[in-house]
Each structure stands twice: as structure tokens, then as C-alpha cells.
Amino acid sequence: MILVTGGAGFIGANFVLDWLASEGTPVVNLDRLTYAGNLENLAAAAKDARHIFVKGDIGDRALVGKLLREHQPRAVVHFAAESHVDRSIHGPAEFVQTNVVGTFNLLEEARDYWSGLREPERGRFRFLHVSTDEVYGSLGAGDPAFTESTPYAPNSPYAASKAAADHLARACHHTYGLPVVTTNCSNNYGPYQFPEKLIPLVIVNALEGKSLPVYGDGGNVRDWLYVGDHCAAVRRVLQKGRPGEAYNIGGNAEKTNLDVVNAICAILEELRPSSLIPHPSSLITFVPDRPGHDRRYAMDTRKIEAELGWKPREKFESGLRRTVEWYLAHLDWVGGVTSGAYRDWLDLNYGQRGRA
């Protein structure tokens, strides 16, 4: 039994489904079901007795403590987070509450539970804290990739809240001995990603003939990681990662935002040709950059490769095609999540920017 937080979101849901398929042991899934949390992401596990879903907040210590005592998990895998930089710019308080205060409360309950365990369960327990490359700040074009010893330099409210959570998790290990392992991953993409993030946003907008907003000059660089590879890495870290350590997880696929958008357009032009919009790339619209936009992220993954034997399997080109094909095959899912609130968000974030 493991306890997963945020397991109805994009990465969390993929992880839960992957876990049930590959490990086969039960999962208690705690999720508050905010805008990005969706039980439809877990439809494949709806009738699986090994999947126990609980609607609730990681900040609710009474609930978390009850779940830990009742189910006696051997690990906590902590995905739950507010995770969109643009949303953190518009409303940072929610990010502090969930990512900092929520993580602190979760750590405290996990520490209380762990301290009451007897050996060998106590020695086997793990708290796996899932974080992001954004805590490291921004790289120049010729800078070496982030390593696990790169100093933290968060530049957005989101990144700062995750950095604070990372520090709390580290401190909980070094002060109290809680066996915490941290992972810092690069930009994920794949099935079930809420369509405010770049790749699903471009897919959905292109299918509807709407503009494809690209910040600034489109030259911001990200390292893209297929979500299935991320799930495999988290499982490997949970199995073999050393308490107190951090592991960078990346896809070894640095791309500019403009390159990503053009690649999506090319796939859509092939798979879903349209007489009304024969060339989706004609919909690209450059909009004013967001405040404090980091220029480049890149991950050095040599540590996890050498120590744990993990490498990404999916190439960016094949992973992107699989992702586009998934969205084309699940337009009903897209319709279900692109509600009025989603439209209001797009208007707030992009509608007021106009053209660059």
C-alpha cells in the first residue's frame, strides 16, 4: 500500500494508473479535485479495488493522520501542488497555502506516523517529494544543465513555493530523520494534461481554429519529459533512491517553445487536415511575455542514470506524436475539462495581452 497525493491531476493520475499496471499493489489516492484534478483521468481504475480514492486536502492534518493510521502505507508519494506559473502570477497566495503550508502539514503527519512504526517497516518507509526544475532558476544559452547541487534561485511565485517545500522536506530529513527523497523533474507532457499548459493548449486551440499564443519571441527553452518516463523514474527512485538525496529527472530534449508549437502544427496538419485551416502554424500569435519568464531550463540526469539505472525511453518526436494522437482520440475528455471557468482563465491570461 502506498499513499499518493494529487493523484487525480495530470502527473499523479498517470502515476496511479502506471503503478497499478506495473506494481499491482494498492494505492490510496488523496486529491482535493481542484480545477486540474479530474476523476475522469482515473476512469480506467474506477472499478479497481486496489484504488481507494479520497477527496481531501493535504493540509487537513486530521484526515491525513487518519489515512496513514488506517491504511499503514509503506510510502507517501507527494504530487499534490498548484503548478502553473501563470496562475501563480495572478494569485500567489493559493500556491503558498498548498505548496508550502500543505506540504509542511503533510510532512508533520508523515513524521508522526513514521516515528510510531516498528522495524522493519520503519526502515522501509519513504516520503517521496516530487518537485520541479524551476527551483533552480534560469540558464543562459551556453550554461551547463542543472545538477542536484545547483543553488536554488526561483524566479516565480510558483517556483518559490516549490523551493520552500523542497527545503522543508530536506530539513525534515536532516533534523528528524524522516526518510525523504526528492525528485526535480523537467516539463512533462502526455495524456490527461490540463489544457492551459503549452502542448495541450496548442492542440485544443488549433483544432478549434483559434490563435496559438506564444510568449515573447518563442525562444524560451525547456527540457521536455514524457509523463510515462517520469512515472517510471519516480517508481525507480521509490525503490532504490537514498533518503536525504535529490534526483533530477529530465527528457534530454531541449526545445524552444516555438519549435514545440510548430511540431504540433505539423503533426495536426498530417493527422487532422482541414480545408478551413490547411496550415495550423498560420494561427501562431506572439503575445507579450509573462513577467519574469525564465529563458532556459536544462537537466543533468547523470546522477539518476548512474545510481538508479534510469533513462528516458521516449524520444520527444515520438512522445509528442503519441500525445497529439491521444488528444485527438479523447475529444470528449477535452470537452469535459474546458469549462466556462477554463475559458475565463484563458481570457484573463491571454485575452488582455493582445499581440506583441
How do residues 77-102 score in pLDDT, each as one tens digit?
999 998 777 787 888 999 999 999 99
Does residue 351 surpass a pLDDT of 80? Answer: no
> Do the Cβ atoms of 6 and 31 come closer than 8 Å?
yes
Task: Please check whether the domain covering 2-193+224-252+293-316 is classified as CATH 3.40.50.720.
Answer: yes
Angle at 189 between CA 187 and CA 191, to 5 degrees: 155
How far CA 141 is from CA of 74, 132, 220, 221, in Å, comes to 42, 20, 10, 9
**What percent of the chain is modeled with pLDDT above 90?**
84
Distance CA 251, CA 232 (A): 12
Give the domain ranges of the chain: 2-193+224-252+293-316
The residues that are catalytic are 133-134, 158
What is the reported pLDDT for 65? Answer: 98
Whether the predicted pLDDT of 342 surpasses 80 = no
State the pLDDT confidence band at 349, using cuts at 50, 70 and 90: low
Is the omega angle on the peptide bond into residue 200 within 30 degrees of 0, that is, cis? no
The mean pLDDT of the chain is 93
**pLDDT tens-digit map of 194-217:** 988 999 999 999 999 999 999 999
Give me the phi and psi of 79, to 5 degrees please: -95, -25
Could you tell me which of 167, 183, 257 has the C-alpha nearest to residue 219? 257
Residue pair 229/314 in contact (Cβ under 8 Å)? The answer is yes
Q: How far apart are CA 331 and CA 342, in angstroms?
A: 16
| C-alpha to C-alpha distance for 181 and 246, rounded to whole angstroms | 6
For CA atoms 50, 45, 42, 270, the dihedral sign is positive
Residue linked to cell 533534523? 175
